[in-house]
Amino acid sequence: METKFKFAQDLIQEAGSFIRDEMAKTLKIEEKTQFDDLVTNLDKATQDLMIAKIIKNYPNDFIFAEEDGVRHSVEHGNVWVLDPIDGTVNFIVQGEHFAVMIAYFEDGIGKFGLIYDVMGDLLYCGGGSFPVCVNGKPIPRYQDTPLNRTLLGTNAGMFADNYHGIRDLAKQTLGVRVYGGAGISMTQVMLGHLLGYFSCIQPWDYAAALIMGENLGYTLLTIDGEKPDFSTRQSIMFVPKAKLPEIKTYIK
Ligand code: IPD
Ligand code: CA
Ligand code: CA
């Protein structure tokens, strides 16, 4: 597993360096389901690059990736879950605050996860039998903090609608922060900079953080408190396990 974990770290950094090199060229931007659901030629080219390297090195492994309908269930065999650019809107508009994400599963068991903040050059990785580190430095486990000394990460629409009581929970904290990328938001939870992250996202958006978070005292559940299904878009929360009972008094 160590060789595979090292391969994944090299791969995600190569993907990031490819994006940094290519992003100065004119992007081809397409709308997917609606005007704010965007994909670029670089999302697709980065995914292609990652898949080609995985299949060359591990020809019997499977892929579950965001673009072009590449979908193999994480439950069966050795499966790589890929989000080539998480925060594509940030990537297009800001040219920063986006990430590449990888999660690796064997028969449904998460073995490691990686989130690479490309422009910040910050690699968060670990989980399973590996310590969770940022650029090689171990991240401490969750340390209990009262709600009124925390900030909450949330999807802006869900906050505005007080979806399942998210605004009620936010009112117990010092405020909300909206980063515009699931991956980068969840790294902020793991660092203890956010109490939690609430959003409506897909398996490739949450897989890496779920695996890493388990080693640090966090849990990723649907807003109803169930395990996510790893196949559809769901409303999720990524929160400290120790805080779940208190959070559930606000989240209905
Ligand atoms: C999106 C981002 C965004 C979240 C969306 C995701 P993408 O991923 O993580 O923050 O609100 O639901 O789809 O499309 O940029 O990979
Ligand atoms: Ca994503
Ligand atoms: Ca993406």
22 with 69, same domain: the answer is yes
The domain boundary, picked from 77, 107, 138, lies at 138
113 with 160, same domain: the answer is no
Task: Judge if the beta carbon of residue 67 lies within 6 A of ligand 1.
Answer: no
pLDDT at 51: 98
180 with 124, same domain: the answer is no
| CB 177 within 8 Å of CB 201 | no
How far is 140 from 218, CA to CA, in rounded Å?
12
CA of 219 to the centre of ligand 3 (A): 22
18 with 85, same domain: the answer is yes
pLDDT at 17: 98
Using one digit for the tens of pLDDT, what is the confidence trace for 67-115?
999 999 999 999 999 999 999 999 999 999 999 999 999 999 999 999 9
22 with 130, same domain: the answer is yes
Tell me, rounded to whole angstroms, the distance of Cα 124 from its chain centroid: 10
The count of domains in the chain is: 2
How far is 245 from 72, CA to CA, in rounded Å?
34
120 with 244, same domain: the answer is no
Under the banding of pLDDT at 50, 70 and 90, the label for residue 221 is: very high
Under the banding of pLDDT at 50, 70 and 90, the label for residue 149 is: very high
- Please report the atom of ligand 1 found closest to the CA of residue 86: 16
Using one digit for the tens of pLDDT, what is the confidence trace for 126-141?
999 999 999 999 999 9
> To the nearest whole percent, how much of the chain has pLDDT over 70?
100
8 with 121, same domain: the answer is yes
122 with 208, same domain: the answer is no
HSE-up (13 A, CA, CB side) for residue 38: 15
215 with 151, same domain: the answer is yes
Among candidate residues 148, 112, 122, the one with its CA nearest the CA of residue 250: 148
Task: Judge if the beta carbon of residue 236 lies within 6 A of ligand 1.
Answer: no
How far is 57 from 236, CA to CA, in rounded Å?
33
How far is 214 from 209, CA to CA, in rounded Å?
8
CATH code: domain of residue 162? 3.40.190.80
The residue whose CB lies within 8 Å of the most ligand 1 atoms, and thus the one to mutate among 201, 204, 234, is 201
The domain boundary, picked from 116, 138, 160, lies at 138
HSE-up (13 A, CA, CB side) for residue 31: 4
10 with 108, same domain: the answer is yes
CA of 246 to the centre of ligand 2 (A): 28
Task: Judge if the beta carbon of residue 201 lies within 6 A of ligand 1.
Answer: yes
Task: Judge if the beta carbon of residue 43 lies within 6 A of ligand 1.
Answer: no
> To the nearest whole percent, how much of the chain has pLDDT over 90?
100
Using one digit for the tens of pLDDT, what is the confidence trace for 171-214?
999 999 999 999 999 999 999 999 999 999 999 999 999 999 99
59 with 154, same domain: the answer is no
pLDDT at 93: 97
67 with 181, same domain: the answer is no
CATH code: domain of residue 12? 3.30.540.10
- Please report the atom of ligand 1 found closest to the CA of residue 185: 10
Task: Judge if the beta carbon of residue 203 lies within 6 A of ligand 1.
Answer: no
Under the banding of pLDDT at 50, 70 and 90, the label for residue 150 is: very high
Q: Which stretch of DSSP H or E encloses residue 191?
A: none
The count of other CB atoms within 10 Å of the CB of residue 37 is 11
Between the CA atoms of 186, 191, 192 and 193, what dihedral angle is there, to the nearest 10 degrees? -70
CA of 163 to the centre of ligand 1 (A): 18
How far is 215 from 217, CA to CA, in rounded Å?
6
The residue whose CB lies within 8 Å of the most ligand 1 atoms, and thus the one to mutate among 88, 205, 236, is 205
Angle at CA of residue 95, ends 52 and 198, nearest 5°? 85
Helices (H), the chain: 2-22, 41-57, 88-93, 156-160, 166-170, 182-190, 203-216, 244-248
Whole-structure pTM value: 0.98
Among candidate residues 134, 78, 82, the one with its CA nearest the CA of residue 111: 78
The domain boundary, picked from 138, 162, 190, lies at 138
Q: What's the domain range around 87?
A: 2-138
Q: For residue 210, with 0-12 CB atoms within 10 Å meaning exposed, 13-18 middle and 19 or more buried, which class applies?
A: buried
